[in-house]
A and B are shown apart, each in its own frame.
Chain A
Amino acid sequence: DQQVKQNSPSLSVQEGRISILNCDYTNSMFDYFLWYKKYPAEGPTFLISISSIKDKNEDGRFTVFLNKSAKHLSLHIVPSQPGDSAVYFCAASYSGNTGKLIFGQGTTLQVKP
């Protein structure tokens, strides 16, 4: 039972344009959501997060939107840069869960120059 799903295995965008990565979840207990970025042969690195009490969080070129009624979140990257090419994982957690993360399958983003 996949509680966190990223239905698009890959995404290709042109440099300078917007990248939108999507994530859906099924567990209503989740109250904290994160995006991790992973380059080949490296471990995932934290990118941005959002609490369920918010519907938007921004950090520079990265914005995460949360739609609790639809159990959906998205990561927007504007403008996209070639260095953003990586695998992006959506993850979720809930309070009191000792920090355990449930990850989605990942989306490979390619930003073309």
Chain B
Amino acid sequence: NAGVTQTPKFRVLKTGQSMTLLCAQDMNHEYMYWYRQDPGMGLRLIHYSVGEGTTAKGEVPDGYNVSRLKKQNFLLGLESAAPSQTSVYFCASSYSESADTQYFGPGTRLTVL
């Protein structure tokens, strides 16, 4: 039981490049979330999903797209990376809407030059 895993762990991009971050969970959770963490800002919600095939915008969705084609996977895409997207990205999953059940992945550190 790996819990929540994120791929890759680190990535450096040039401005304008694209990439996809993968989040996978093996707990059969319905809810999945993408957050970004910036110094002095805490974690902010980018997008979330309440089930396979569904996605919704969070607090800071601009510049990102997501897909949830399979229940266990939640993909976060950057179509044209910008330096402002330099951050640490965390994925989380939950089996219910009850907030204390969110399990977080180890994070992806992304640098955009």
Contacts and interface: CB of A to CB of B under 8 A. Distances in A.
Chain A's interface: helix, strand, loop or mixed, by majority? loop
Given A4-B42, A44-B90, A99 B96 contact: yes
B111 to A, nearest CB: 15
Interface string B28-53: 00010101000011111100101000
A100 interface: yes
Contacts of A89: 42-43
A113 interface: no
Interface of A: 4, 6, 9, 32, 34, 36, 41-46, 49, 89, 91, 93, 96-106
Given A34-B99, A46-B102, A103-B42, 12 more contacts: A4-B42, A9-B40, A32-B100, A46-B103, A49-B100, A96-B97, A98-B97, A99-B96, A99-B97, A99-B102, A101-B45, A101-B99
